[in-house]
Amino acid sequence: MMKLRELTLKETHDLLKAGEIGVVELTREYLDAIHENNPSINCYVTLCENEALNQAEEAQKRLSSGEENSALCGIPMGIKDNMCTYGVRTTCASKMLENFIPPYSSTAVDRLLKKGAVMLGKLNMDEFAMGSSTENTIFGPTRNPWNTEYVAGGSSGGSAAAVAANLAGFTLGSDTGGSIRQPAAFCGVVGLKPTYGLVSRYGLVAFASSLDQIGPLTKDVTDCALVMDEVVAHDPMDSTSVAWENGSFTEDLEKGVKGLSLGLPAEFFDSALDDGVRKAILKTIKLLEEQGASAQETALPGIKHAVPAYYLISSSEASANLARYDGIRYGHRSKAAKNIDEVYRSSRGEGFGREVKRRILLGTYALSSGYHDELYNKALKVRRIIANEFARAFEQFDVIIGPAYPTTAFKLGEKLEDPLKMYLSDIYTAGVNLAGLPGLVVPCGLDDKNMPIGIQLIGKPFSEKLLLRIGYAIEKAVGSFKALKNEGRA
């Protein structure tokens, strides 16, 4: 018998609307499952049990009165712990913000709560979103629900794992260089990094302000479209926010792929790509061709510079953004400090983890006198080259298609002592953020270890509806992949 938690968001909404299940009953089922399974997966770091049950009662009243039409009303969700939530601890998985309780909610979270979604809690992540494995966290690593010896990816590992383990109906994550798409691929769920500016960043704790973007992680493509319908809107509180006037994200899902042209960058299919991942991606592209799409190899020669450019720009912005954590205004303050210099030095030394310190130092160095032009400004020029190459590719192709990561999920601890190896693996995702483009990851197969493989679709700005349409076609062609066949795990 299928559990309520295994249903998609749309299936759950239909049952709630018909009165066949209640919101409180549904919320309790999720909370019970979190109590049982979170110790082995470690995706939730703060559980909002009382708040969730209160929100569930309110959502039930709205559904019963017929006043709320949103597909998200009554749906339990989880939120990455770098989005401010009024009255609920927001830590960024850092000692620096371990006890920070925001006085307001981020716009994206606020919009969901106003639509009646139920917040179960806050989700684990790499500290300040800096990492690719959710191992750089004061709460201990998040484990992959498919196999708990493997990482869930990062930095939104908690968000991806919660969906894969059926511990949330959907989640929000953030993506600065691949932090939604890579964990989505590792955990076999759908993850969308929207066009820069499409979802408000107000209330998202800043890592790299010109790259950060909030997006959904869901069980399937339809659910992803439904969440996008609610979180996308112009926000005057975010100066980079743009208006969306292209209708519902769900309306074109079933249009198919006939006549669409797909570009396959040669740089995405080089020797760095695992053979099992390559086979699954190419097989999926073949299925799209059978449905009437055309695929052709193309080139993005500048993409080989994406990783160094990304790490210089993101670390420079992080150096500036994280300067606010000085032990004076809010956040961790060293008890050992005896003067103002020691307050700064000790508070930051104690409050930040190793990876965050590494990137602050890199960014500060890149912005320093004598290196600003040589490093930071050069990285900005490379960013423009990459954006121009994507723009030229989109003159010929409707979408760029390829892997999200060179391999499937790796084992816990495998890359922790080799940050450079971890950084270089962002080659397929970082360029999308540098160019401000949307990227969608959809599960497309399993490797020989029975771990999920994700295919990445990259579109021109504001082409989310097209990406979701192609993602829907992929989903219908390859079928679904479910974690936790072993009931002992979740």
- Whose CA is closest to 147, among 172, 164, 123? 164
CA 463 to chain centre: 18
What's the pTM value of the predicted model, to 2 decimals? Answer: 0.96
| Average of per-residue pLDDT values in the chain | 96
Share of the chain above pLDDT 90, in %: 93
- In tens, the pLDDT along 264-308 reads 999 999 989 999 999 999 999 999 999 999 999 999 999 999 999
- In tens, the pLDDT along 86-118 reads 999 999 999 999 999 999 999 999 999 999 999
**Residue-level pLDDT at 481:** 78
Q: Is 489 a residue whose pLDDT tops 60?
A: no
**Residue-level pLDDT at 67:** 77
Q: Is 488 a residue whose pLDDT tops 70?
A: no
HSE toward the beta carbon, residue 227, CA cutoff 13 A: 33
Q: Is 485 a residue whose pLDDT tops 50?
A: no
Contacts of 477 (CB under 8 A, 6+ apart): 284, 287, 288, 291
Share of the chain above pLDDT 70, in %: 98
3-state secondary structure of 379: helix
Rg (CA), the chain: 21
- In tens, the pLDDT along 38-66 reads 999 999 999 999 999 999 999 999 999 98
pLDDT band for position 482 (cuts 50, 70, 90): confident
**Residue-level pLDDT at 370:** 87
Superfamily of domain 4-260+440-478: Amidase signature (AS) domain (3.90.1300.10)
Domain ranges of the chain: 4-260+440-478
- Whose CA is closest to 270, among 402, 134, 72? 402
Indicate which residues carry an active-site annotation: 80, 155, 179
- In tens, the pLDDT along 225-264 reads 999 999 999 999 999 999 999 999 999 999 999 999 999 9
The burial class, CB within 10 Å (0-12 / 13-18 / 19+), for 258 is exposed
Q: Among 309-313, 399-403, 482-486, whose mean pLDDT is lowest?
A: 482-486
Q: Is 331 a residue whose pLDDT tops 80?
A: yes
